[in-house]
Structure 1
Amino acid sequence: MGPAAGGEISDEMLQKLGSLSTQALVDGLWVMGWPSAQIDNSRPLTSGMKCCGRAVTLNFVPARPDIAQDKPPGGMSPEYEAFELCGPNEVLVMSSCGPDESVGGDIKFLRLKQREIGGLVTDGSVRDTDEIINYGFPCFSHSTTARQGPAAMQPWECNGVISVSGTVVRPGDAIVGDQDGVVVVPAKAAEKVFNIAHGREVIEDIIKEELIKNPGPPGKFYPFMSGKIKHDSPLAELLAKNGISPANSNQFEGTADW
């Protein structure tokens, strides 16, 4: 097998990625031609939740008697192995066997509170919702449920490559979640994604400010394609007034570095 992790992300880069919106990060990957990176079926349990951290992954498989017998018992189970790898800079990403299946609840996730985890993301559901909200860590899931998880699936592998709603997650990838959803930023591409996404957000702020001062159709400036802003366009003229030019930005035609 190939390596599970695809690279390393520094604490500094993690903080930078966490300062951006999920849509900006999706746009950065889109511009680079990478596959879709959002986890569509994972939503915040309550409003205002935001998470950013390195992925610790956990894969569930459908329940089967021999699987249950062969899984390491008690505290050695892959899920508890994953829990102990988590801290403030980690997000536990759990790949469920179905959107309505429970990946855990109150008692199990008390340990995540104790570990001061950076967040929990799953394409499955969680139970004991009120208690999880009270624990205070960001939690993103497909839904909530009263179902028993072990009746349907078993935790099988910690820190392998997993698929979450069809999106690949490798251990160490950056996981960023906000009110729009959750995005996976591959560790190997993190710096480039940030540079594109941050550049886009700066430009969008300038466009918005201009449209507030001088109301009109946004089509004059927006949308734009990173790396393809034409040098003689109205957008280029607007950016030049704000100190952004091909000399100091990779967003213009012929200046892309991706």
Structure 2
Amino acid sequence: MLSSITRRFTLTSSTTTRTFARALATGPAQGGHISDEMLAKLGSLSTQALVDGLWVMGWPSAQIDGARPLAPGMKCVGRAVTLKFVPARPDIAQDKPAGGESPEYEAFEKCGPNEVLVMSSVGPWESVGGDIKFLRLKQRAIGGLVTDGSVRDTDQIINYGFPCFSYSTTARQGPAAMQPWECNGVISVSGVTVRPGDAIVGDQDGVVVVPAKVADKVYSIAHGREQIEEIVKEELTKNPGPPGKFYPFMSGKIKVDSPLGKLLASKGITPENSNQFEGSADW
């Protein structure tokens, strides 16, 4: 029996190849489903809190360092639809479905208000698209676009209104350097793994990938941390002084009899109703 990779490259019909590629992108590429309600909860948190939540759990780095907001105030949240680019090569250009059947347009049509298109570029300065292509993303009212490459036609993209996070901007043409190859496979973006369906959250500090399988737990930790930080900030505003009395702290390791533990107790936060204390962690 031929291996899955061998079979993929022995198929001659572009339609069959595309169908088979989609089949490969399901199953193991899917890490679970995040509800719209959980998306909204994750989007209510800062990217810092989400990074902290994953760090506490011991997960690998989740921040896409090569993606910055195209304009101030941009915020995105949605389930990942992924698109992989590969370096340009004549035979790949011939084998890739052409025109509207290209994997990039397949990805576009999977996007809507609760999806973020995540595009893995072959280089930070290579263009993943611009004005004409991304008009379709505006029409789809997507939740956002994230890439570790660059975008062109910057002013027009900003006017389209959807959040866009990229390494930079460029006037280069993308097809001369790379071509879209696969929709909804597992990709690497700035060294961070993204699976279709992962939660993508972006703000002024960057973009974070929250794996779908642990989204609920990450939210629980991150939300708890943000609550605690607000309490500490309020206390330091009323009683100015160095924050060292309360910091640093790590979720799941706050001691009940510590200054922080006592401050939280005065606000009704205890091991009985919070997973931030020593011995009460659920991860």
Instruction: Determine whether 1:180 maps to 2:200.
Output: no
1:37-48 superposed matches below 5 A: 37-48=62-73
The separation in 2 between residues aligned to 1:147 and 1:179, in whole angstroms, is 25
User: How many angstroms does 1:101 deviate by?
Assistant: 0.2
Aligned match for 2:138, one of 104, 113, 125: 113
Q: Match of 2:227?
A: 202
Task: Please show how residues 24-63 of structure 1 align to structure 2 within 5 Å.
Answer: 24-63=49-88
Residue 165 of structure 2 is aligned to residue 135 of structure 1:
no
The correspondence for 2:42, drawn from 17, 20, 25, is 17
One of 237, 246, 269 as aligned partner of 1:244: 269
Q: Detail structure 1 runs of 4+ shifted over 6 Å in the superposition.
A: none
Deviations 1:213-232 (A, max 9, x none): 00011010122100000111
1:8 and 2:33 are equivalent in the alignment: yes
> What does 1:141-180 align with in structure 2 at a 5 Å threshold?
141-180=166-205
Q: Which amino acid aligns with 2:33?
A: E
Quote the Cα distance in structure 2 between the aligned partners of 1:139 and 1:28: 24
Instruction: Report the counterpart of residue 91 of structure 2 in structure 1.
Output: 66
Q: Is the 8 A contact 1:100 1:142 kept in 2?
A: yes
Report the identity percentage: 86
Identify the structure with the greater helix proportion. 2
RMSD: 0.7
Find the aligned partners of 1:108 and 1:222 in 2 and give their Cα distance. 48
CA contact (8 A) 1:207 1:222 kept: no
SS at match of 2:41: helix
Q: Deviations over 1:24-56 (max 9, x none)?
A: 000000000000100001000000000000000
In 2, are the aligned partners of 1:91 and 1:121 still within 8 Å (CA)?
Answer: yes
- Please name the residue that 2:252 is paired with: 227
TM (norm. structure 1) is 0.99
Q: Which amino acid aligns with 2:80?
A: A
Q: Distance in 2 between matches of 1:146 and 1:232?
A: 59
**SS in structure 2 of the partner of residue 13 of structure 1:** helix
Give the SS at the match of 2:85: strand
Rg bigger for which structure? 2
Partner Cα separation in structure 2 for residue 202 and residue 41 of structure 1: 29
Letter in 2 for 1:176: V
Indicate if the aligned counterparts of 1:116 and 1:137 stay in contact, CA closer than 8 A: yes
Q: Tell me, which stretches of 5 or more residues in structure 2 are unaligned?
A: 1-23
- Whole-Å separation in 2 of the counterparts to 1:105 and 1:246: 51
1 CA distance for matches of 2:175 and 2:29? 26
Q: Deviations over 1:155-205 (max 9, x none)?
A: 000000000000000000000000000000000000000000000000000
Moved more, 216-225 or 141-150: 216-225
Which residue number corresponds to residue 86 of structure 1? Answer: 111
**Structure 1: 5+ residue stretches without partners:** none
